[in-house]
């Protein structure tokens, strides 16, 4: 089957009277020639690995470059203070996103969803929802199937690679996946899932990939925060009745075209953007001398 359009998933779901997530499950069974039990076991393992990575965050660890580490703990402590201006859910989402991305930079075990550089977005949203609002493991697994289906279509129609499509392809894709997954957790229909993904991705169009010194740390770690918070905002808009004026599949196509228009220097080459700033070049020089 291998879906290449979100509209195909919605159409098949309508014909079979099965939910969005179940269509993705069936697609995985066919693509990998596995049973339903085997497919669910794999997805459950992904979820548990995300939880393990979240639990094992070590604020004392620093990346080899020294650019990453400890910021997740700062956000976590700030989230506990009454002086914050945002609610506990988003504050915790922000902390989790940085913690997971820092763990990646510090060579800890994470789940690349859809990539290592964007690994903090989906777990930040889903694990915080579970913690603060309650969700069964079964429901979270379903949400991951939703995210996987969205990611599958984006990968097929556009890209999830920063080298090919800029950071919109990594953080943008992760944000779209998280938005759709959250919509499912909150009882959203297939149509709402697709539009949540579209709104999230639209907000990330044109996002460049300009890692300082070629490392997936600056600005990558903190962009996970933007992707996670953006996912929540997109879902909230859809739940309020808003829809993307541009159909979801067309938004993905626009992301593909935008990625192709980005100059090479803004596609993970560390040649331009933030990487080319005086401070970015200074950091690169220092790391090369060490």
Over residues 168-215, the pLDDT tens digits come to 999 999 999 999 999 999 999 999 999 999 999 999 999 999 999 999
> Is 197 within the bounds of a domain?
yes
Residue pair 227/204 in contact (Cβ under 8 Å)? The answer is: yes
* Domain-embedded: residue 45: yes
Q: How confident is the model at residue 72 (pLDDT cuts 50, 70, 90)?
A: very high
Q: What is the pLDDT of residue 167?
A: 98
* Percent with pLDDT over 70 in the chain: 99
pLDDT above 60 for 1:
no
Instruction: Tell whether 1 is covered by a domain.
Output: no
Q: What are 125-141's pLDDT values in tens digits?
A: 999 999 999 999 999 99
245 domain residue, yes or no: yes
Residue 31 CA to residue 55 CA, distance in Å, equals 32
Q: Phi, psi (5° rounding) for residue 210?
A: -135, 60
Give the confidence band of 290 by pLDDT, cuts at 50, 70, 90: confident
12: in domain: yes
Query: Distance between CA 24 and CA 15 in Å, rounded?
Result: 14
Q: What is the pLDDT of residue 84?
A: 76
**Containing structural domain, residue 15:** 6-289
Mean pLDDT of the chain: 97
Q: Determine, yes or no, domain membership for 210.
A: yes
Domain count within the chain: 1
Mean pLDDT of 19-37: 98
pTM for the model stands at 0.97
- Rounded CA-CA distance 6/188 in Å is 15
pLDDT over 60 (residue 110) = yes
- Give the pLDDT confidence score for residue 40 in this predicted structure: 98
- Phi then psi dihedrals of residue 267, to 5 deg: -130, 70
Least confident of 47-56, 81-90, 246-255: 81-90
């Amino acid at each position: 089957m291998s879906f290449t359009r979100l509209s195909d998933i919605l159409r098949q779901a309508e014909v079979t009277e099965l939910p969005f997530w179940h269509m993705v499950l069936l697609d995985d069974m066919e693509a990998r020639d596995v049973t339903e039990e085997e497919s669910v076991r794999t997805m459950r393992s992904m979820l548990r690995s995300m939880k393990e990575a979240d639990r094992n965050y070590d604020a004392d660890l620093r990346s080899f470059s020294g650019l990453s580490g400890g910021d997740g703990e700062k956000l976590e402590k700030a989230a506990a203070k009454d002086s914050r201006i945002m609610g506990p859910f988003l504050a915790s989402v922000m902390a989790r996103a940085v913690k997971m991305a820092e763990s990646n930079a510090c060579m800890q075990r994470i789940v690349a969803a859809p990539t290592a550089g964007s690994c903090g977005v989906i777990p930040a949203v889903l694990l915080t929802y579970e913690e603060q609002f309650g969700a069964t493991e079964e429901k979270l697994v379903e949400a991951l199937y939703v995210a996987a289906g969205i990611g599958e279509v984006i990968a097929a129609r556009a890209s999830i690679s920063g080298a090919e499509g800029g950071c919109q392809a990594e953080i943008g894709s992760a944000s779209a996946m998280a938005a759709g997954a959250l919509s499912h957790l909150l009882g959203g229909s297939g149509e709402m899932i697709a539009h949540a993904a579209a709104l999230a991705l639209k907000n990330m169009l044109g996002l460049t990939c300009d890692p300082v010194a070629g490392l997936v740390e600056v600005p990558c770690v903190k962009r996970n925060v933007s992707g996670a918070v953006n996912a929540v905002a997109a879902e909230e808009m859809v739940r309020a009745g808003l829809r993307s004026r541009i159909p979801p599949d067309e938004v993905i196509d626009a992301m593909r075209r935008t990625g192709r228009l980005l100059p090479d220097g803004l596609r993970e080459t560390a040649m331009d953007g933030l990487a080319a700033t005086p401070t970015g070049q200074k950091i690169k020089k220092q790391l090369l001398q060490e």
